[in-house]
Structure 1
Amino acid sequence: MAARDRTGPDYASRIARAMALIAARPDDPPGLEDLAAAAAFSPFHFHRVYRAITGETPVETAARARLQEAAIALLKGGEKVALVARRAGYGSQAAFTRAFRAAYGIPPAAYRARGGLGFPVRSDDEEERAMFEVTIRETTPLRLAVIRHEGEYKRIGDAFGRLQAWAAGRGLLGAGTRAVALYHDDPSSVPAAKLRSDAGVTVGPEVKGEGEVRVLEVPGFARVAALRFKGPYAELERAYDWLYRAWLPGSGEEPADAPVMEEYLNDCKALPPSEWLTEILVPLRG
């Protein structure tokens, strides 16, 4: 293999090491020297290579992860905003509020009060059942390059980051590339540390797995329940809760023995969380 052909994959694997370092401590992100050393790049060039491969700076990667953790904490817990800010690594509540408002469009206290951005509060039972539109359709087979993630589902973004660096270094990302996750376990019955999921991107028949990346053939399904959610990933758990609690029991449908899938329909790096589109796909029995 020529040196030029090796450069992309080599750069990607080195940047993936830096991304793993950020993912391990998003509330206290490593400094430039540590990140550059992990990626074996000179500090003078690390930032440019990182941005070229990931589409964002290390600071932006860490900030996105910190704010997502904070959004989840605001929705799920009763901790004071000041404590959420400290846990997210912000030196003051004011700094956290500015960062959160810039990303999510409203202050953290208002975000908590309204229950998020993508899931309006309903009181009437009939409105509750009609909270989202669910369609039943078929899906086509997918060939995915995947990285297995073990642990809390909310942290699958770490695996996606490494996978996208791997794919970018090989010129595999394009306008037609789809980002898909598969979730294999029920988070209400399996300990968080043992949850299994796969972060995936679509690839062609010529692509082979290597290292932590494997190729997975996902069959098409004749019938899936599809729910399109618009809003932050932090709120997806509540959309699942509605789907299984309100829609599925009244639909007459039963889920098939196959993983739930999510497809991410736009770029979370280019758009605010209020605009993120995710399709939840639950295979159904025929």
Structure 2
Amino acid sequence: MASYEDRLLRVVAYIHDNPAGDLSLDRLADIAAMSRFHWHRVFRAMTGETCAQAVRRVRLHRAAVWLVQTDRPLKQIAGDVGYPSLPSFSRVFQAAHGLSPGAFRTRGELSPPLLSAHRGDYPVYPIEINDQPARRLAAIPHKGPYIEIGKAFESVSAVFTSRGFWPQARGMVGVYFDDPDAVAAEELRSLAGIVVEGTLEVSDPLEEVNLPGGRYAVMHYKGPYSGLSAAYKHMYGVWLPESGEETGDHPPIEVYLNNPKDTAQDDLLTDVCVPLK
């Protein structure tokens, strides 16, 4: 089983590291060091997706983030995620998101006005203070742009699948140590983790991480992950200064309440949790 786990981790990493590269079934089978006739069956059985579905999802997620968070031309983004032309990229993107790339960018650019939302009134993404439980994670660290942490999440998921750990999983959590506005993208540190029970043995490549419980400000965010950057700016730039609260001494976390593999982008639910003293 460890051999298949290693193969799956290699392929997941290759897809995320090479969105514009050759991600054909033959190439992915080569990375896995298996016959294409068998690798496709193994990949689908272990992940619930075909290789083609996984490739398209990773490419379109990367494109969605670049559309909202950068000013790269649409044609460049199409090429950077492996599409030979803007029309072919636009067709696939619209089929997945219900919007053309240009319209998606325009809608995404509407997020910054959250910074000038009515002070003290934020009905779309409400923020409350509550007690969060301590959490024990089985995690894989990620270093680099936060938009690329999906690679680490898919790696930890692959390990859980290969080891039969899912019955002991209690949710997925991301831990984000650095401010992307203050730290170079390639130096950002984060963790992709799955909450587990105390009895589960956590071993390489997984790391055991214990998150403290206590008082947190929790923002209930709904929508594509690409919009989280603007949501953070509202939380830290508007809500926190007016709240009278002080942040705690450990990093913010994101608790993912549903799965982008089977949930529309607009229906994704994320609790952004900032520790308080």
Distance 1:57 1:200, change over 3 A: same
Partner of 2:261: 269
Letter in 2 for 1:181: G
Judge conservation of contact 1:138–1:220 (CA < 8 Å) in 2: yes
Partner of 1:19: 12
Letter in 1 for 2:263: L
Judge conservation of contact 2:251–2:275 (CA < 8 Å) in 1: yes
Distance 1:62 1:101, change over 3 A: same
Secondary structure of the residue that 1:161 maps to in structure 2?
A: helix
Judge conservation of contact 1:266–1:276 (CA < 8 Å) in 2: yes
Instruction: State the shift of 1:269 in Å.
Output: 0.4
Question: 2: distance between equivalents of 1:227 and 1:238?
Answer: 12
Question: 2: distance between equivalents of 1:59 and 1:226?
Answer: 36
Instruction: State the shift of 1:127 in Å.
Output: 6.5
Question: 1: distance between equivalents of 2:115 and 2:172?
Answer: 35
Question: 2: distance between equivalents of 1:115 and 1:47?
Answer: 35
Letter in 1 for 2:77: V
Large movers: runs of 4+ above 4 Å: 119-125
Question: 1: distance between equivalents of 2:112 and 2:88?
Answer: 27
Judge conservation of contact 1:163–1:213 (CA < 8 Å) in 2: yes
Question: 1: distance between equivalents of 2:223 and 2:193?
Answer: 21
**1:243 maps to 2:250:** no
Question: 1: distance between equivalents of 2:203 and 2:254?
Answer: 24
Task: Single out whichever of 70-79 and 276-285 deviates more from structure 2.
Answer: 70-79
Partner of 1:196: 189
Judge conservation of contact 1:12–1:53 (CA < 8 Å) in 2: no
Letter in 1 for 2:261: K
Deviations 1:159-210 (A, max 9, x none): 0111000011111114963000111112122221111111000222332232
* Aligned residue among 63, 76, 86 for 1:83: 76
Distance 1:99 1:174, change over 3 A: farther
Percent identical residues: 38
What are the ranges of 5 or more consecutive residues in structure 1 without an aligned counterpart? 1-6
Question: 2: distance between equivalents of 1:255 and 1:106?
Answer: 38
Judge conservation of contact 1:70–1:84 (CA < 8 Å) in 2: yes
Secondary structure of the residue that 2:139 maps to in structure 1?
A: strand
Question: 1: distance between equivalents of 2:186 and 2:211?
Answer: 25
Judge conservation of contact 2:115–2:238 (CA < 8 Å) in 1: no
Judge conservation of contact 1:26–1:63 (CA < 8 Å) in 2: no
Question: 2: distance between equivalents of 1:138 and 1:76?
Answer: 32
**1:226 maps to 2:226:** no
What are the ranges of 5 or more consecutive residues in structure 2 without an aligned counterpart? none
- Alignment size in residue pairs: 276
Question: 1: distance between equivalents of 2:29 and 2:219?
Answer: 41
Task: Single out whichever of 71-80 and 239-248 deviates more from structure 2.
Answer: 71-80
- Provide the TM-score with structure 2 as the length reference: 0.92
Partner of 2:129: 136
Secondary structure of the residue that 2:132 maps to in structure 1?
A: coil
Secondary structure of the residue that 2:13 maps to in structure 1?
A: helix
Question: 2: distance between equivalents of 1:244 and 1:273?
Answer: 24
Letter in 2 for 1:267: N
Question: 2: distance between equivalents of 1:219 and 1:78?
Answer: 38
Deviations 1:101-159 (A, max 9, x none): 11111111111222269x49569642685252101000111111000101111111000
Instruction: State the shift of 1:39 in Å.
Output: 2.0
- Provide the TM-score with structure 1 as the length reference: 0.89
Instruction: State the shift of 1:30 in Å.
Output: 2.9
Partner of 1:182: 175
Partner of 1:4: none
Question: 1: distance between equivalents of 2:112 and 2:182?
Answer: 27
Letter in 1 for 2:75: A
- RMSD (Å) for aligned C-alpha atoms: 2.2
Question: 2: distance between equivalents of 1:59 and 1:128?
Answer: 45
Question: 2: distance between equivalents of 1:75 and 1:224?
Answer: 28
Question: 2: distance between equivalents of 1:243 and 1:108?
Answer: 27
Partner of 1:163: 156
